[in-house]
A and B are shown apart, each in its own frame.
Chain A
Amino acid sequence: MSDATYAGRTVAVDPEGFFVDPEQWTDEMAPEIAAEVGIGELTDRHWQVIKFMRHEYEQRGAGPTVRVLGRTSGVSIKELYELFPKGPAKLAARIAGIPKPRGCI
């Protein structure tokens, strides 16, 4: 576990940079985390996904997988990959300040 500073505040993150305590996250932190993972500007579409991730986490205690995102967030899997290249579920979870989506076993 280590610390990171976003929007002038110190937060606890895991070794991969995911928030340990989602309560510490605020909207203003998102653009800074996004920049860190190589996403330049957060558009309305990005925000739709980020808000959805937060909502799902609050409802179920875990972030959704790409497949569930594609079915339920109103953004298709194809577009999710355009918005969050490489790994939409992971990147969006990191920017939304929720823990890394648990892999299935």
Chain B
Amino acid sequence: MTRRVLILGGGTGGTLVANRLRRMFTPEQLDVVVVDLDDRHIYQPGLLFVPFGRARPSDLVRSRTRQLRPGVDFRRAEIDQVDLEGDLVALRDGSTLGYDALVVATGASLMPEETEGLTGPGWGAKAHTFYSLEGAASLGVALSRFERGRLVVNVVDMPIKCPVAPLEFAFLADWFLTRKGIRHLVDITFVTSLDGAFTKEVCNRELSSLLEAKRIEVVTEFNTGQVDSAGGRLVSYDGREVGFDLAVVVPLHGGASYVNRSPGLGDDLGFVPTDESTLQSKASPNIFVVGDATDLMASKAGSVAHFEGEILVHNLARFLDGQPPDASFDGHTNCFIESGFGKALLIDFNYQVDPVTGRFPAQWGLPLLKESRLNHLGKLAFESIYWNLLLPGRDIPTVPTAMPLTGKHLVAVTG
């Protein structure tokens, strides 16, 4: 009998899981169905470059269905609710889809409405975001007109997609304004809810000295309660203020809204409690979760969705076969951090091992936690790897799913 795996969301994680499953099972063995709202797949890492004129919005968008292997069914619809008891998904168009196994891959959504001043008239006067395609484009216009004053980059609160992207934005702004010859007329301030530029110790140290060298001021433990775009100030819940002439704000993130309409599926923020090792939902063994939709202590990054994909598909196949899961995800995350002037850093870590210096994936490889031209080329190469290897669900040569220890300068963790 043909069974069905229903995949909610056709972004990075949904697409690569669908393609891996389609290669593994014949259409007679398994129906693979993907549901998404539209047919526009956005290469989100490219959003960072749009405000600096280094990427054109239209170049970041491709057809979703074209990224799916023949034999994967695509349903264009809005997901309304999951009925965990009945193994049924209700769509907004009134139809329902049953499943033998479900894959939640609906990512993280921006929730600007949760912060006073990030929606409605006036937002956009002096405050922008680059976390959406429209936002990145309009920020580009504002940045090209920006000539002097204070530029503020603000992360309202964690978790966010690609937690290093706001730092990268600050580094690139420093480079962009220097090249324009107006850096000396601009103060750049990075305002974060965290108690450092980054949560991980060694990484925080390296990034802090880089920020200092680039004369980017850091304001920590700032919990933004209001963004007064017209008045040009961020106001924190404890009454502190940071003034700006141009603000780049990363709004709060949450899970897709249907998650909280589906009893038992999500946590308070709409993310899906997930077994950190098997990638099964804690609510039910026939629900698997990939990418930004999970509540895992791994970064919300495309590289993570890629590493999870291999593990998830293996465990899902075992589940369909009546076997217990036996592959385990180690939390492997790999991120380039663009630092401007044609350079970038690379970090590679997992649940257990924090980002450290050394080389990746081994002695001969890319320098870790150190600015280099090679890493910048790696970052640029990621776009082609994304469309041609990651989304098709292929392995990336020399990049293993389990985090490699060789090449890393491990430090003893104290405490």
**A contact residues vs B (CB 8 Å cutoff):** 1, 14-15, 64-68, 71-72, 77-78, 80-81, 85-87, 102-105
Supplied contacts A1-B415, A85-B238, 8 more A-B pairs, CB within 8 Å: A66-B157, A67-B252, A77-B237, A86-B221, A104-B159, A104-B199, A105-B199, A105-B297
User: Are the CB atoms of A87 and B157 closer together than 8 Å?
Assistant: no
Query: B299 on the interface (CB 8 Å rule)?
Result: yes
Q: What is the distance, in angstroms, from B130's C-beta to the closest C-beta of chain A? A: 20
Query: B268 on the interface (CB 8 Å rule)?
Result: yes
Interface centre among A1, A15, A78, A103, by most B CB within 10 Å? A103
Query: B269 on the interface (CB 8 Å rule)?
Result: yes
User: Are the CB atoms of B158 and A65 closer together than 8 Å?
Assistant: yes
User: Are the CB atoms of A77 and B225 closer together than 8 Å?
Assistant: yes
User: Are the CB atoms of A65 and B297 closer together than 8 Å?
Assistant: no
Complex Cα spacing A93 to B238, Å = 18
Which residues of the partner chain B approach A102 to less than 8 Å between Cβ atoms?
297
In the complex, what residue of chain A is closest to B159 when comparing beta carbons?
Answer: A104
A-B pair count, CB < 8 Å, reads 46
Instruction: List 18 A–B pairs whose Cβ atoms lie within 8 Å, in order of A's numbering.
Output: A1-B415, A65-B158, A66-B157, A66-B223, A67-B157, A67-B252, A77-B225, A77-B237, A81-B238, A86-B238, A102-B297, A103-B195, A104-B158, A104-B159, A104-B163, A104-B297, A105-B199, A105-B200
A-B interface, 3 closest residue pairs, ranked by CB to CB distance from nearest: A104-B158, A103-B199, A104-B159
Complex Cα spacing A64 to B223, Å = 15
Which residues of the partner chain B approach A80 to less than 8 Å between Cβ atoms?
237
Q: What is the distance, in angstroms, from B415's C-beta to the closest C-beta of chain A? A: 6
User: Are the CB atoms of B223 and A14 closer together than 8 Å?
Assistant: no
Which residues of the partner chain B approach A65 to less than 8 Å between Cβ atoms?
157-158
Q: What is the distance, in angstroms, from A30's C-beta to the closest C-beta of chain B? A: 22
Q: What is the distance, in angstroms, from B111's C-beta to the closest C-beta of chain A? A: 10
